[in-house]
Amino acid sequence: MNDATATPAALAAGSTRDQILGVARGLIETRSYLGFSFQDVANAVGIRKASLYHHFPTKEALGIAVIRQATQYFKDWDAAREREPQDALDSYFRMYRNTLKAGSGMCPAGSLAPGWDCINEELRQAVQELRHTQVLWLTGVLGALAPAGARKKGAPSVAAQASYVFSVCQGALLASRMTGRVEDFDEAIAQLRSSLPG
């Protein structure tokens, strides 16, 4: 469940912990980590605020669980598909556009960056792990698209290119969130594609 505005019937479908995680993720993606409270989560789930502490002792613990779940979702998303490298990269861009709701939402990890100095070290590490997981995956995909022998002399390393792709996707989400236009995401990704091998 990724939507903080989900209907009560949809929320009732999962365990209370799953409902809390889904609501928190939706709030993080649309309001940022600093833009919601435990009370907001309790209201959306339909439980008392005190009940949240049974599942998550602090807001930081909830944030860590949301980011770790997002990292696991990405790993599961990758493991569930057998794709050619170009198809994998196209799927990655679609995941950003559609699953992360370009124009109306942000990546949960990316939405924590504005409050970086206000979050604890464990939450920062969870965000860094999500980034690392995606960059490592991108390194493999981009390496398969342009094997070492096919790379131009002086071209950036595959790892540097993977970092660049991740950064552009995050920035494109941010820009499209500012304007509310998914087309702004699409335009940035079109420019990115033109700079990549394959």
Does the pTM surpass 0.85? The reply is yes
Which residue has better confidence, 82 or 175? 175
**CATH (one of 1.10.10.10, 1.10.472.10, 1.10.357.10, 3.40.50.450) for 66-194:** 1.10.357.10
What tens digit of pLDDT does each residue of 98-134 get? 999 999 999 999 999 988 999 999 999 999 999 999 9
> Would the CA dihedral through 33, 36, 38, 41 be positive or negative?
negative
Domain topology for 8-55:
Arc Repressor Mutant, subunit A (1.10.10)
Q: Secondary structure of 53-104 in the HEC alphabet? A: HHHCCCHHHHHHHHHHHHHHHHHHHHHCCCCCHHHHHHHHHHHHHHHCCCCC
What tens digit of pLDDT does each residue of 79-103 get? 777 789 999 999 999 999 999 999 9
pLDDT at 80: 72
Query: Is 189 a residue whose pLDDT tops 70?
Result: yes
Domain locations along the chain: 8-55, 66-194
CA pair distance 190, 193, nearest whole angstrom: 5
What tens digit of pLDDT does each residue of 19-73 get? 999 999 999 999 999 999 999 999 999 999 999 999 999 999 999 999 999 999 9
Residue 14 pLDDT grade (very low, low, confident, very high; cuts 50, 70, 90): confident
CA pair distance 91, 83, nearest whole angstrom: 9
- Fold match flag (8-55 vs 66-194): no
Q: Secondary structure of the chain in the HEC alphabet? A: CCCCCCCHHHHCCCCHHHHHHHHHHHHHHHHCHHHCCHHHHHHHHCCCHHHHHHHCCCHHHHHHHHHHHHHHHHHHHHHCCCCCHHHHHHHHHHHHHHHCCCCCCCCCCHHHHHHHHHCCHHHHHHHHHHHHHHHHHHHHHHHHHCCHHHCCCCCCCHHHHHHHHHHHHHHHHHHHHHHCCHHHHHHHHHHHHHCCCC
